Structure 1
Amino acid sequence: MNAQILNFVEQMEATLLNDIVTATTLELDLYAIANDMIAQNNKTDFPEICQAYEVVKHHLIG
C-alpha cells in the first residue's frame, strides 16, 4: 500500500469519526464519503480512493 492510499484511508477515517461526533443520527455512509473524495480529487486518484475505501470497509467490518 502506498503513501497516497494511506492518506486517503486517514481522510476517510477522520471523516467517519467527525460524522460520529457531529451527527444527530447515526447514519454513516462510507460510500458517500468515497464518492465525495472522487469528485473532489483528480480522476487519476480514482484507483487509490477505491483501494482506501476497501481498506476502511475492512477496518470497520472486522
Structure 2
Amino acid sequence: QAIRFMTEPIPDGPSKGMYSPKDELEMLKDKYYELRGWDKTTGIPTKDTLKRLNLNKQAEDLYK
C-alpha cells in the first residue's frame, strides 16, 4: 500500500529506519512542479510554460 512508505520506517538496508512523511513529500512535489512550470494544485503546465515551449495554441485553448 502506498501510504506505508509515508508512515512506516524502512525495515532494512541502507535506508533502514527512514521514511518520507506526507508533508515532506508534498513540499518536494510542490518544488518539482514549480521547477517544471506546472500549477502546484493541478499539475498542469502553466500558460507561460506552454508559451515558452511554443505551444501557444494549446495555451490559449487550455486557458480560455
* TM-score band w.r.t. shorter chain: 0.3 to 0.5
Question: TM-score under structure 1 normalisation?
Answer: 0.33
Considering fraction of residues, name the structure with more helix. Answer: 1
Question: TM-score under structure 2 normalisation?
Answer: 0.32
Q: Which has the larger radius of gyration?
A: 2
Specify which structure has the bigger relative contact order, considering alpha-carbon pairs within 8 angstroms and separated by 6 or more residues. Answer: 1
